[in-house]
Amino acid sequence: MRFKGLDLNLLGAFDALLETRSVSAAARQLNLSQPAMSAALMRLRAFFGDELLIAQGKRMYPTAYAEALVPQVRECLHAVESMLVTSGRFDPGTSQRRFRLILSDYVMTAVLAPALQTVAATAPGIRLEITLPSPEAGIELREGRADLFVAPEQFVFNDHPSELLCEERYAVVGWAENPLFSDVLTLEHFSAAGHVAVRLGGPRDYSFADRQVRQLGIERRIEVEAPSFTVVPWLLVGSQRLTLMQERLARRVVTTFPLRMAPIPFPFQPMREMIQYHSSRKNDEGLRWMIECLREPAALA
């Protein structure tokens, strides 16, 4: 299909080339042969009258003109995608759609895993691609390449729609044989114990719970910094360490590991876990169906 002399299929090739900055990687992303992608790049160069990507050594670098085209091309692709998802009805029973989700391993375990039972039963053709939160993953949502982003309220983007998925309370979790669980856990006990904290993402930022403890000015001794939530139980068993854990996740891990949970011995604000999508997807029936699949287990407090 051509528009003013441009084969519109080349816009997808342009986006892949500028994202990967590699002919072979762009070809793999679009399931094309490398010669076909090279031919697409040649046609793009001829149409725009610019080199677009210049090879230097083993890498390719975009020209200034190509960089200027990127937001316009992606906005065009988003508009086309929005038109397609709003013009067709979504049938989960027959759909072969792939959803790209950005969410933490806590959400995977506490919300997505039980939601997959509904997905498997009602939409056997659906495929999910899951990415952990990171600065790069956030860019994918803002550029419309990811479908859903699930994160605490302070991490969502102001320029795209978001809605509450659930409110999450926290608990103190530790080894079942930790003597601190034989009596009421006090703030003094909590502060004196060794702790496991979670730091996430590219800049290794502290999680919601660990950030809140720091903001409250509560001193504690962090013995281990973990890169994910679901590795924490392994770091508690057989030790005197404690951790702050989301209640939905805590209720799951205490049935699998020899762990116990107790109330936090000081006022602690619940976390508002939000779900966000690109503004061009607000009328996407398939996306709304996916959100409701996640909302059902998230509602089970």
pLDDT tens string 144-192 = 788 999 999 988 888 889 999 999 999 999 999 999 999 999 999 999 9
DSSP assignment of 12-52 equals: HHHHHHHHH--HHHHHHHTT--HHHHHHHHHHHHHHHTS--
pLDDT mean across residues, the chain: 88
Q: Backbone phi, then psi, for 99, in 5-degree steps?
A: -105, 135
Same domain, 154 and 33: no
Q: Three-class SS of residue 9?
A: helix
**Amino acid making up residue 135:** P
Question: What residues pair up with 53 in beta bridges, in sequence order?
Answer: 62
Q: Has residue 6 got a pLDDT over 70?
A: no
Counting residues of the chain whose pLDDT is more than 90, the rounded percentage is 54
- Look-up of token digits 């084969």: 7
Residues with Cβ within 8 Å of 84's Cβ and at least 6 positions away in sequence, in order, are none
- Residue 34: give the domain boundaries: 2-87
Same domain, 50 and 136: no
Element (H, E) at 232: helix 232-236
Tell me which residue of 278, 293, 226 sits closest to 81, measured CA to CA.
278
Using CA atoms, how far residue 253 sits from 126, 230, 234, 273, in Å, is 28, 9, 10, 20
Looking at the structure of the chain, the number of domains it has is: 3
User: Whats the size of the chain, residue-wise?
Assistant: 301
pLDDT, tens digit, 9 for 90 and up, residues 60-82 = 888 999 888 888 887 777 666 66
pLDDT band, residue 2 (cuts 50/70/90): very low
Higher pLDDT residue, 249 or 199?
249
Mean pLDDT, rounded, for 221-234: 94
Q: Backbone phi, then psi, for 116, in 5-degree steps?
A: -65, -25
Residue 31 tokens, joined:
């399931």
Same domain, 154 and 108: yes
Same domain, 174 and 265: yes
Write down the pLDDT at residue 201. 63
Same domain, 190 and 243: yes
Assigned domain for 92 exists: no
Same domain, 174 and 264: yes
Residue 217 tokens, joined:
């000015």
**CA 166 to the chain's CA centroid:** 16
Same domain, 113 and 149: yes
Tell me which residue of 142, 148, 131 sits closest to 294, measured CA to CA.
148
pLDDT, tens digit, 9 for 90 and up, residues 254-281 = 999 999 999 999 999 999 999 999 887 8
Write down the pLDDT at residue 1. 44
Same domain, 251 and 213: yes
pLDDT, tens digit, 9 for 90 and up, residues 123-137 = 999 999 998 888 777
Write down the pLDDT at residue 3. 47
pLDDT band, residue 301 (cuts 50/70/90): low
Q: Has residue 96 got a pLDDT over 60?
A: yes
Same domain, 201 and 148: no
Question: What residues pair up with 163 in beta bridges, in sequence order?
Answer: 275
The CATH number of whichever domain residue 50 belongs to comes to 1.10.10.10
Q: Has residue 16 got a pLDDT over 50?
A: yes
Confidence (pTM): 0.71
The CATH number of whichever domain residue 157 belongs to comes to 3.40.190.10
Same domain, 21 and 65: yes
Instruction: Say how far apart CA 86 and CA 63 lie, in whole Å.
Output: 35
Residues with Cβ within 8 Å of 64's Cβ and at least 6 positions away in sequence, in order, are none
pLDDT, tens digit, 9 for 90 and up, residues 27-59 = 988 888 999 999 999 998 988 899 999 988 778
